[in-house]
Structure 1
Amino acid sequence: MDWNLRTCARKGHVTYAPTEDTFREKLHTPTPVGPAWRCLRCGDFVIGEPHQTGPADRAPIVLRGRALRDALILRLLSLERFIKGILCLAAAYGVFHFRSHRDGVERAFNEDVPLLKPFMDKIGWKFEESGMIHTIRTVIEAESRTLLWVAAGLALYGTLQLIEGVGLWMLKRWGEYFAVVATSLGLPIEIYELTEKITFTRVGALVINIVAVLYILLSKRLFGLRGGKAAHEAERHEASFLEVEIAANEPTLPRGLRTVPRTPAGVR
């Protein structure tokens, strides 16, 4: 899949008219139905006036190629953070609400849950040894103040997950730092959980978080890695200029021009 073309299909093309005649002539071509300008993202020529104009080194920074892939990965991570954040906030509300209805829940648990024991025995489930039942019983027997702290902790963790998700979705640099720090702080807890019991879910979550931290650190040059922020910004601005320069030095009739009559809906 060509992510450049896919993105242009969803968001539209990005055309730019450099003020330098050399670049301007190469990025522009006449057609029987009007002038066409080359898209800085997908490389196709689009009929109509350019969206912007100015010096070549002031060309807009367009996510394309590797940058589009990075954006996709970060936004997939942000969706995972959003889901975790919402679940944690829902759990926090449930624990806090449980404090005011504790007696009724405890009575229902002690009276109704044992009625399931005969059925559980028939299907071979050791009811009294179930980890889920043990967890529920521990929560019910916990002190009210302990439950309040648990609810506060879940609410805080859920809020941090949502903040991290927003930063990653918006592709903000502070969001990348926030994600690396927050995820790294949780790694020791995930490793400790594996010492208690190894499950596919726990191993998968740990691997995903380690890969996510390393990927963001290296690809975004955080904490001074690979030249730090200066190298990262220079790379992005250089790419913006090179997109114009490279496109300007290619043949006047590239493949994109041939797509104009084939895709009239893309005409600007």
Structure 2
Amino acid sequence: MLVNWSLRACGRHGHVTYAPVEKALRERLRAETALGEAWRCLRCGDFTLGAPHGSGPAEDAPIVLRGKALRDATILRLLAVFRWGKGLLVLAAAFGIWRFRAHQDAISMAFDEDLPLLQPLADKLGWNLEESGVVHTLRAVLSAETSTLTWIVLGLLVFGALLMVEGVGLWLLQRWGEYFAVVATSLFVPIEIYEIVEKVTWLRVVILLINLTAVLYILLSKRLFGLRGGRAAHEAERHETGLLEVETAALERSLSPHHPATATARQK
């Protein structure tokens, strides 16, 4: 089932109407009904009762996302939410390590004292605690120098901040945010591939696929780095799909001397 993104947006945010001062174009967007005047919504194209929300020259009409552009905006904002979620997890990890750094000695002592208590359970499960990768990792963290932990915290803070900024740019549909997302995500792809080579897990594979898909989607749909005509082609596409632009083009075609209706009127 095809999703009508324009109708969904109008259902959530309401219709957007505009009355151009150009008479011919104004007549194409206005209708008189038994309940009063109605104007076509610039987003979904349906007529809605009531006075227009704005008026003026057609060139000053608000650019309203509709159709494919609206779908792209929805996808980018979903990516922004994903980035914010990941950023919050990274920042939470930084906070946890910072708190651990302040109590490292006490935690390390408690770990050494409590680990032998797990030995009976480990023996029953056939789990060799001394050879356990989890135990080795915990001991490496607990024995890390304070300066090392400080650098880890700073690195996580920077990474988390980058993710939050990236999310803001994507949510606001800013061009710089799209470039930022592509560059930042691409920089971490080699690291994610290395992690998968080290150990394959479904979570790592899914995250890599999401990031690769996001990079390719933003690159191609937003025509970044000159792809598919670059920024000029992207802006032209946005304007060409606007309702006022569509109606203006239709009006110009109807007034063309080669249009069938115009030719018939001249013959009469």
**Both proteins in one fold, TM over 0.5:** yes
Alpha-carbon offset, residue 3 of structure 1:
2.0
| Secondary structure of the corresponding residue to residue 63 of structure 1 | coil
1:245 aligned to 2:266?
no
Q: Distance in 1 between matches of 2:7 and 2:204?
A: 37
Q: 1:213 to 1:138 in 2, by over 3 A?
A: same
Kept in 2: contact 1:40–1:244 (CA 8 A)? no
Q: Percent identity?
A: 62
Gap change, CA 1:54 and 1:105, over 3 Å in 2: same
Change beyond 3 A, Cα 1:186–1:11? same
Aligned to 1:112: 114
8 A Cα contact 1:43 1:247, kept in partner: no
Say if 2:38 and 2:49, in contact at 8 Å, map to a contact too: yes
Q: Distance in 2 between matches of 1:231 and 1:246?
A: 18
Aligned counterpart for 1:179 among listed residues 168, 178, 181: 181
Question: 1-side partners of 2:56 and 2:165: how far apart?
Answer: 36
Indicate conservation of the 8 Å contact 1:164/1:179, yes or no. Answer: yes
Candidates 139, 142, 148, aligned match of 2:141? 139
Alpha-carbon separation, structure 1, partners of 2:122 and 2:239:
64
Residues 68-83 of structure 1 correspond to what in structure 2 (within 5 A)? 68-83=70-85
Map of 1:3 onto structure 2:
5
The superposition leaves residues 232-259 of structure 1 with CA deviations (integer Å, 9 ceiling, x where unpaired) of 122222333424437879xxxxxxxxxx
Which position in structure 2 is the counterpart of 1:253? none
Q: For the residues of structure 2 that align with 1:22 and 1:125, how far apart are their CA atoms? A: 82
Contact 1:13–1:41, Cα closer than 8 Å, also in 2: yes
Alignment correspondent of 2:202: 200
**8 Å CA contact 1:120, 1:127 repeated in 2:** yes
Moved more, 51-60 or 102-111: 51-60
Normalised to the residue count of structure 2, the TM-score between the two structures is 0.87
The aligned counterpart of 2:233 is 231
For 2:16 and 2:130, the matched residues in 1 are separated by 64
Q: Which structure has the larger Rg over C-alpha atoms?
A: 2
Distance 1:156 1:206 in 2: 21
**Are the counterparts in 2 of residues 180 and 213 from structure 1 also a CA contact under 8 Å?**
yes
CA contact (8 A) 2:28 2:247 kept: no
Could you say which residue in structure 1 is the equivalent of 2:192?
A: 190
For 1:49, what is the secondary structure of its paired residue?
Answer: coil
Q: 3-state SS of the aligned residue for 1:109? A: helix
1:127-154 residue CA offsets vs partner (Å, 9 max, x unmatched) = 4444333322111011111111111101
Query: How well do the aligned residues superpose, as a CA RMSD in angstroms?
Result: 1.9
The one-character-per-residue Cα deviations of 1:220-239 (angstroms, maximum 9, x if unpaired) are 01111111112112222233
Q: Show structure 2 runs of 5+ residues with no match.
A: 253-268
**Cα distance, 1:41 vs. partner?**
1.0
Report the AA paired with residue 34 of structure 2. P
CA deviation map 1:153-179 (0-9, x unaligned): 011100000000111111111110000
The amino acid that maps onto 2:212 is I
Tell me how far apart the structure 1 counterparts of residues 246 and 131 of structure 2 sit (CA, whole Å). Answer: 64
More relative contact order in 1 or in 2 (CA 8 Å, sep 6+)?
Answer: 1
Relative to structure 1, the CA distance from residue 204 to residue 54 in structure 2 (aligned partners, 3 Å threshold; closer, same or farther) is same
TM-score (norm 1): 0.87
Deviations 1:186-221 (A, max 9, x none): 011011112211111111111111111111011001
Equivalents in 2 of 1:78, 1:121: separation in Å?
A: 47
3-state SS in 2 of match to 1:15: coil
1:242 is matched by which residue type in structure 2? E
Aligned equivalents of 2:123, 2:78: Cα separation in 1: 42
